[in-house]
Amino acid sequence: MIPFENASPVSGRFSFITTAAQMAQAQTLAGWITIIAEDRGLDERTLAATTDLDIEDVRAILGGVVLMIPLSVLDQALCRLEGRRH
């Protein structure tokens, strides 16, 4: 069993990240969100508003703790930040 398979709910959601590959994808998406936010000089609140995430999820992303955030949420946040349709 992978340690994060026993994840508990955060922000009212359960994690869908169950494999090492999915964890790598989540970290990559979070990394791009962080890089773009830093490049644009966005603070936590502005990033939350831009990506339509709650502030706790933004803090988790910026802190590199993405075990509890589903890939689809990270992908949608990156799309919004880049101005792309999802």
Give the residue carrying structure tokens 């990506």. Answer: 51
* Angle value at C-alpha 28, between 30 and 41, nearest 5 degrees: 40
User: What is the predicted pLDDT for the residue at 8?
Assistant: 46
Average pLDDT over residues 19-25: 89
Distance CA 78, CA 34 (A): 10
pLDDT score at 20: 86
- Domain ranges in the chain? 17-82
Question: How would DSSP label each residue in 49-80?
Answer: HHHT--HHHHHHHHHT--TTS-HHHHHHHHHH
Looking at the structure, give the CATH architecture of the domain made up of residues 17-82: Orthogonal Bundle (1.10)
In tens, the pLDDT along 29-61 reads 999 999 999 999 999 999 999 999 999 999 999
pLDDT band at 2 (very low <50, low <70, confident <90, very high): very low
* Residue 15 pLDDT greater than 80, yes or no: no
| pTM, 2 dp | 0.77
